[in-house]
Amino acid sequence: MGYRFFQPRRFLMLAIPGLALVLAGCSTDRYFMVPKEGLEDIRTGVQTQRATLVTMENNATIRQDKLLEHNQAATQSILDAISTQVQPPSCPPAAQQICPTVPENRGRADRLKGKVIVGELEKFYLAGPDHIYTARIDSGAETSSIHARNVKRFERDGRNWVRFEVPVPGADGEWVSMEREISRRVRVIQASADEAERRVVVELQFAIGDHQQVAEFTLSDRANLTYEVLVGRNILRDVMLIDVGKEFATELPDTYRNKAANGDDS
């Protein structure tokens, strides 16, 4: 077996060309060699791509413009619909000045523990003839009484009735007739008379202040007395309290006053 000796010079001559090719492939500029006859094809491809990009850009612009027009049209249609449904604001008319109405007098009657406080004298409304008298409040009298004349008893439907006349307040000599069923009779002893007098008692509806009530009244001749009506204990009991230091502590409602002024018999 024979041996060959290593020849360094020959090795270097073979290795240098290969190394040059490797270094040329690793260059940072990465230049590639293109055959000259292929340049025209590359230029044609680039121009074709540019034309395609321009066409795509134009198409995108057209689509964007159409989209904007569509949105504007939709917005305008919504605004038109709102304007037709919503009324334009208008200023309210100027408020007219209305004079406040004077409230009707509903009457006045002060109360203490539910009882009407009255003075020694009070305005007294008699229902039926709608008369207003000045009544004297007297806790010493048991039964209330009213001035009456021409007291005539009669029978109606098997029951005892009475027809009588009461004076018209403020009209001297004028009287008005009333009829009521007899409630009972009482014996009255006067200091000026030797014998007791029997008087007829009837029920009458009346008002003092805003207090209304139905109570018994004797029909008596009070021509010699100052006041046509006397309010006694049968009314005062559990209903009224007397303030002896006052007169006309109550006030009648306008309704009663108007009826009395108009002579309303309803």
Residue from 178, 214, 182 nearest 201 by CA: 182
Q: What is the pLDDT of residue 266?
A: 38
Query: Which is more confidently placed, 219 or 9?
Result: 219
Q: 3-state class of 253 per DSSP?
A: coil
What does the pLDDT look like over 1-25, one tens digit per residue?
Answer: 454 544 555 544 554 555 444 445 5
Averaged pLDDT for residues 68-95: 75
Q: Contact at 8 Å (CB) between 200 and 124?
A: no
Q: Tokens at residue 64, please?
A: 């964007």
Averaged pLDDT for residues 52-68: 82
Which residue ranges make up each domain of the chain? 11-83, 111-262
Residue 24 exposed, middle or buried by CB count within 10 Å (0-12, 13-18, 19+): exposed
List beta partners, residue 190.
none
Residue with tokens 């002896």: 244
Q: What is the pLDDT of residue 22?
A: 47
- Beta-sheet pairing, 229-231 with 131-137: parallel
Q: What is the mean pLDDT of the chain?
A: 82
**Domain over 111-262 is classified CATH 2.160.10.10:** no
Supply the pTM of this predicted model: 0.60
Confidence of residue 106 (pLDDT cuts 50, 70, 90): confident
How much of the chain, in percent, has pLDDT values that exceed 90? Answer: 48
Averaged pLDDT for residues 128-146: 95
- In the DSSP assignment, the letter for residue 38 is G
Q: What is the CB neighbour count within 10 angstroms for residue 216?
A: 17
